[in-house]
Amino acid sequence: MTFMRTVLLAAVPLALAQVDPPGPPFPNSTYPNATDPLTDSGAMWNETSPPSYPSPWGTGLGDWADAYKSARAFVSQLTLTEKVNLTTGVGWEGEKCVGNNGAIPRLGFKALCMQDSPLGVRDTDFVSAFPAGVTIAATWDRALFYQRGFDMGSEHRDKGVDVQLGPVVGPLGRTPEGGRNWEGFAPDPVLSGIAVAQTVKGIQAAGVMACTKHYIGYEQEHFRQGAPPTSVTESISSNIDDVTMHELYLWPFADAVRAGTASIMCSYNQINNSYACQNSYTQNQLLKNELGFQGFIMSDWSGQHSGVSSALAGMDMTMPGDIGFDSGTSFWGANLTIAVLNGTVPQWRLDDMAVRIVAGWYYVDREANQVANAPTFSSWTLDTYNYQHFYASEDWTQVNYHVDVRDEHAADIRNFAAKGTVLLKNNGALPLSGNAKLTAVFGSDAAENQYGPNGCSDRGCDNGTLAMGWGSGTDNFPYLVTPLEAIKAEVLSHGKSIEDVIDDYAYAQQNALARRVTDVGGVCIVFANADSGEGYIIVDDNEGDRNNLTLWHNGDDLIRNVTSFCNNTIVVMHTVGPVLVDSFYDNENVTAIIWAGLPGQESGNSITDILYGKVNPGGKSVFTWGASRGEYGADVIYEPNNGVLAPQEDFAEGVFIDYRAFDKLGETPIYEFGFGLSYTTFSYSNLQIAAHAAPAYTPTTGDTPSAPTYGVVSNNTADYLFPADITRIPAYIYPYLNSTSLSASSGDPLYAINYTFPAGAYDGSPQPLLAAGSSVAPGGNQALYDVLFTVTATVTNTGSVEGDEVPQLYLNLGGPNDPKVVLRNFDRITIAPGASETFTADITRRDVSNWDTVAQDWIISSYTKTAYVGSSSRKLLLSAKLDLSGVSTSPSGPSSTTYSSSSSSAAGYSSSSSSAAGSSISSSSAAGSSSSAAGSSSSAAGSSSSAAGSSSSSTPTVTSSYGHSAHSGYGPPSYSSTSA
């Protein structure tokens, strides 16, 4: 019986009364061993999380071998309390970074500095403010993902940071309102996976450890830590079935692990009613065993809820170390020392924590990347002198060195944001020449925050132009170039006239200016935004998550007001995600629409580059713009739904979020995922698919070595007493005992109560490897990354200016529960006018696989699989079937998918007009053979009127030999599970 079982049993009566949530069906794929009959259909109310013990010990897989060798040698020298010091933070505001563990002065090993954020160095000065994750994602450019990571990592390094608390792939973006979606990349696992891998590599190439977060199922702010409201005592439970976990939420974490992320932050929420930081299934089984993660798991700040249990369940470092901020108490610290001495945490588990932490340090070569006076800043003040121990007000000294670490990053930032800008509509108004007689700029989003760019703590307000959301995922702007000042400079350089009204509600002044523009000839540029952030700050009644999908400050009214007088209105939106544009997108006076994302410090310059054609837009939307909020399917839970117990968030939509939901539900978005225009046009032709001979997939077998220990732990408790030569700092967390009696030292009245921890947690003998795991390298079974096919297509610039296009590769995996299409690859290509370039994209084994919950492994179903290449998720211009004859497939698809025809999800597609659909390629299983698919050239150039996506030309044909006939629309297929 696991430690979480009590919670489950207590909740059973409520579960009985609970009606299954409405919504589309999803794979019936609960976790093995999650055997509560009430929850056996997966992703359900009170779902359980199966136990998985022991916690896998790191073995130095793949390119971690050298780091492990060094780490083991180092850890072998450590005492018990020195090891504990590595694992435990010193408490909130105990040292200068947002998180600091303990040092090992005896060996000259400095305490590690963990510092936010995913877009820059938080809480200090003279740093760059980079574009947010959602904006860099919209570049769809691997090189820029990497460069941004490297630039950010360099700034962290030069400030003396050891661990950058980013990047983010959790939240993934299940719901468009999710408050922190913008910190991450996109609600698509493949785009997020590629972006996170490149970002991790960039950060770590700069000599800083990345911390990929938040693991896992952290998809909303409400109830992430119980309250608000205070009546809810436990954090929300994200109830996720096994297929959805693997095919959606775990996918980008696998890419981060494979890219070598040195650490991963476990999240605040529960997964299947077990807290993320003590969930043995997600940490031990999925992350450390299946994915072979070699680094360390760090708790989110106060995300730890137990001492021994979280250690046994795989957590390696607690942050900021104290239970409540500045409580002076800790689940670990001295309590971990005690737990090792009394045997409730085996020595090998503590040794594994220490080795993982130090291995991360070696893996990124922290040794060679130290700076003087590190960390050179204090998170708690910008003053030069203050307390070293801020909370305790002790040790007055120089805490800030004001080191300017920005280097030449401003030019990169300007470029990143321009490249991540998405042109959604253009009837010819753009690019601007600069010679308009009168340029009029409207909206507070064009201008300064009256309090200054950093005037609201953690950017917790929506005043002035929006260049990042709010919360811990922010940093201080070194300056913020507003759109108004950059546009003004551009207009003045042409000797023309510019006026503005930045008050969103000054309707009379807006009207007057808009009329004059139409009268004399000119252009109106309206700026509007929508903000969100982390739940500890409430802005305009939004508790982190957005309350709705509308523009803020009555942006719709502003646009309506301007467009009712101005016949050439360009709308620019700085938003954290999709907003509802239905009230204006097809207004003929709206001549262009731009999504400018969250661009960072160079905002005005980046948007001016796009508006005036210095940069030809090539960004593509990384989310779907629906016509109504309801079309997205999943939504945030805003009110408690389980009394005072943990709210239950059933991920009953399965893998169908964002574009997959729109496709499944038959909704037509206004602008689809992957869509974006250019000042030129492109056509696509000549799809070819080469099949490669890859070795057959072999499930991993064999055992791990037994759990190693490093050094000998003395059992003499007197060895661990608080040293006489150290002066205690109030509320600081130490690893030392107060007494030679463990019980007295714990100060815990419940010490030594008869509590049973899972027996398997203490088993340090060799453990069987998982079929989907690896004994070779992190990232899971390495055969998943074998390239089975290479797709090529010709993309031609059919316009008159150079431009970037992002050809996208989508797959339909053919099964009754598979989405219509899933993104699998992309590239951003610069093409000269009239020229053609070849788009090349690999398809790996993972790309064509499904998760089989019975086999507990990836399998390739024998359903017909179709590849599509196009310019968006709905402009699937070329297609061809994949020839699976050389690949060993599973005859009937995932063995766990037992569908009834009435409840399975739709897999039927219209067989109409896609030019290349249904053309089977003829390549056999021979290595490298390729043949041309029947893709005729078709134009990808979207004009504003076609922005909604020509779905009829993008629907694949399914002609299956597995018992379901091709049929139109999205109704239930006639599928028989026995006919395969």
Binding residues for ligand BGC, rule CB under 6 A, total: 7
> What mask, x for binding ligand BGC by CB under 6 A, covers residues 417 to 456?
----------------------------------------
411, with CB counted inside 10 A (0-12, 13-18, 19+), is exposed
Residue 283 vs 289, nearer CB to ligand BGC: 283
Strand order, beta sheet including 270-271: 274-275, 270-271, 237-239, 648-650
Minimum Å distance from CB 300 to ligand BGC? 5
**DSSP code for 901:** T
Give whichever of 323 and 784 is closer to ligand BGC, judged by the CB atom.
323
User: What H or E segment, with its residue span, contains residue 386?
Assistant: strand 385-389
Alpha-carbon span 277 to 265, nearest angstrom? 9
State yes or no: residue 98 binds ligand BGC (CB under 6 A): yes
* Least distance between ligand BGC and beta carbon 639 (Å): 22
Q: Rule CB under 6 A: say whether 472 interacts with ligand BGC.
A: yes
H helices of 630-707, where?
Answer: 659-665
Residue 472 vs 510, nearer CB to ligand BGC: 472
The residue within the footprint of ligand BGC, chosen from 93, 95, 116, 857 (CB under 6 A), is 116
Q: Is the CB of 119 or the CB of 737 nearer to ligand BGC? A: 119
Q: What is the secondary structure of 797-840 as a DSSP string?
A: E-SSS-EEE--EEEEE--STTS-S-EEEEE--EEE-TT-EEEEE
Determine the Cα–Cα distance for residues 380 and 387; give it in Å rounded to an integer.
9
Does position 818 interact with ligand BGC (CB under 6 A)? The reply is: no
Q: CB of residue 472 vs ligand BGC: minimum separation in angstroms?
A: 4
Q: Does 165 bind ligand BGC (CB under 6 A)?
A: yes
Q: Strand pairing partners for 498?
A: 439
Minimum CB separation of residue 624 from ligand BGC in Å reads 26
Determine if 458 is a binding residue for ligand BGC (CB under 6 A). Answer: no
Q: Which of 296, 208, 210 is nearest to 256 (CA)?
A: 210
| Annotation says 123 is catalytic | no
Q: How far is the CB of 281 from ligand BGC (least distance, A)?
A: 22
Q: Which is nearer to ligand BGC, 440 or 537 (CB)?
A: 537
Give me the half-sphere count of Cα atoms (radius 13 Å) on the Cβ side of residue 807: 31
Report if residue 213 touches ligand BGC, rule: CB under 6 A: yes
Which tokens hold the place of 157? Answer: 């390094």
Tell me how far, at minimum, the Cβ of 298 lies from ligand BGC, in Å: 9
CB nearer ligand BGC, residue 279 or residue 569: 279
Q: Is the dihedral of CA 79, 84, 87, 88 positive or negative?
A: negative
Report how far residue 547's alpha carbon sits from residue 179's, in angstroms, rounded to the nearest whole number.
10
Task: Decide whether 116 or 847 has the Cβ nearer to ligand BGC.
Answer: 116
Active-site annotation holder among 300, 500, 531, 650? 300
Closer residue to ligand BGC in complex, CB, 299/796: 299
Least distance in angstroms from the C-beta of 301 to ligand BGC: 4
Q: Which residues, numbered 287-306, are part of the site for ligand BGC (CB under 6 A)?
A: 300-301
Interaction mask 49-88, ligand BGC, x per CB under 6 A = ----------------------------------------
Alpha carbon of residue 806 to chain centroid:
21
Single-letter amino acid, residue 859: I
Is 236 a binding residue for ligand BGC by CB under 6 A? The answer is no
Residue type, 208: V
3-state secondary structure at position 654: coil
Of the pair 301, 662, the CB lying nearest ligand BGC is at 301
CA distances from 676 to 138, 329, 618, 655, 872 (A): 10, 52, 7, 24, 8
* DSSP track, 516-550: HHHHH-EEEEEEEEE--B-TTS-BTTB-SS-S-SS
The counts of H helices and E strands in the chain are: 19, 31
Distance CA 133, CA 399 (A): 30
- Using CB under 6 A as the binding rule, whether residue 623 contacts ligand BGC is answered as no
Min dist CB 471 to ligand BGC, Å, is: 7
Q: What does the DSSP assignment read for 722-775? A: PPTT-PPPTT---S-BSSSSHHHHHT-TTTT---PPPGGGG--S--BPPTTS-S
CB of 474 to ligand BGC, least distance (A): 10
**What is the binding site for ligand BGC (CB under 6 A)?**
98, 116, 165, 213, 300-301, 472
**Catalytically annotated residues:** 300
